[in-house]
Amino acid sequence: MTITQLEYIVAVHAYKSFSTAASHCFVTQPTLSMQVQKLEEELGVQIFDRTKSPIVTTKVGEELIQQASSILLERDKLHLIIENEKNEFGGVLKIGIIPTISSFLLPFFLKSFLTNYPKVDVVIDELTTAEIISGLHKSILDIGILALPVNDSGISIEYLFSEPFVGFIPENHRLFKKEKLDVSDLAVEDLLLLKEGHCLREQTLKVCKTSGKDLGDKSQKVLFEFGNLDTLIKLVQQNFGMTLLPYLSTKYMHDEKQLRLVREFNPPVPKREIGLVHNKIFIRKHLVKALKKEIINSIPHELVRNKKESIIQ
């Protein structure tokens, strides 16, 4: 029995798939499958029922997985003692980040973080909020970056910054001539939205105070709901409707044709709170502090301020 074999069975249990587990363990599927089979033969038990799809962990396998997770946690504690003694930052840091933050926030801090902590290998997954929380509980992820709030007693939260929303308005829209918007100007029937499951969709609906409205009642011939902001931006530019964008997304707009469609809000400005989260039992808290410091030092200075009252709670 080896530590590597324990890592493999914990990964298969978490992902319910040999191929996905192998990918996240950075090995080929045959290598991982062979090591899992060797462990089963050594122990004389079947850990996984391979006839099911997705793969199901057997009853005895559940007990073994629980013990294996405890062993791996204690292994990590040993490494942490050494890291702290040498004042070193190393190992793999697995980060989950929601899509509406990743493409805008990562370019600000990732390069400098890797430069300042060259012994840390960063693995980043774009995931939904629910997937991040699940990944933290299963120890698939170490840290999550997402929009708050998070209501989970097993999760620790580090507040990062408040990010205002801006309106992105096509030239043919009734609000285009306004220099600044008021929240009362917004109507859900005007808005292009992300698909269900994206927290930015729910935040947008909360700003409009219409989260309970049936979107199927729209009078538009086509109901646009997409999985990424880039698509919404392009549709706005083609006069299909307006949308709300997080402030950081405007930092990548260099085309005057795009910038002239952006409208800030009058106070109270709708915003979302961005946080860094981790499992309360996560022991490498020095990496949490290092990542938080790097993010705050890298983002635009206007976002680094005391937390103020926000429409999004």
CATH architecture of 164-263: 3-Layer(aba) Sandwich (3.40)
Residue 219 is predicted with a pLDDT of 46
CA distance 173 to 190: 9
Among the listed residues 130, 207, 133, the one whose alpha carbon sits nearest the alpha carbon of residue 163? 207
Residue 307 is predicted with a pLDDT of 46
* Type and span of the H or E element at 63: helix 59-86
Look at the block and give the residue holding tokens 């083609």: 238
DSSP 8-state assignment for residue 250: G
Mean pLDDT for 112-128 is: 92
Look at the block and give the residue holding tokens 């390069």: 111
Token digits of residue 259: 């910038």
Look at the block and give the residue holding tokens 């538009």: 220
Mean pLDDT for 147-160 is: 93
Mean pLDDT for 187-197 is: 75
> For the chain, what are the domain ranges?
3-83, 89-161+271-303, 164-263
CA distance 149 to 157: 9
Q: Do domains 89-161+271-303 and 164-263 have the same CATH topology?
A: yes
Residue 272, SS3 per DSSP: strand
CA distance 243 to 85: 51
Q: Are strands 91-97 and 48-49 parallel, antiparallel or unpaired?
A: unpaired
Residue 138 is predicted with a pLDDT of 85
CA distance 286 to 279: 14
Q: What is the CATH number of domain 3-83?
A: 1.10.10.10
Decide which of 3.40.1410.10, 2.40.50.100, 3.30.1330.20, 3.40.190.10 is the CATH code for 89-161+271-303: 3.40.190.10
* Type and span of the H or E element at 284: none
Helix ranges (DSSP H) in 87-171: 99-116, 129-137
Per-residue pLDDT band at 110 (split at 50, 70, 90): very high
CA distance 223 to 235: 12
CA 70 to chain centre: 26
Report the share of the chain in percent with pLDDT over 90.
58
Per-residue pLDDT band at 240 (split at 50, 70, 90): confident
Q: What is the pTM of this model?
A: 0.70
Per-residue pLDDT band at 311 (split at 50, 70, 90): very low
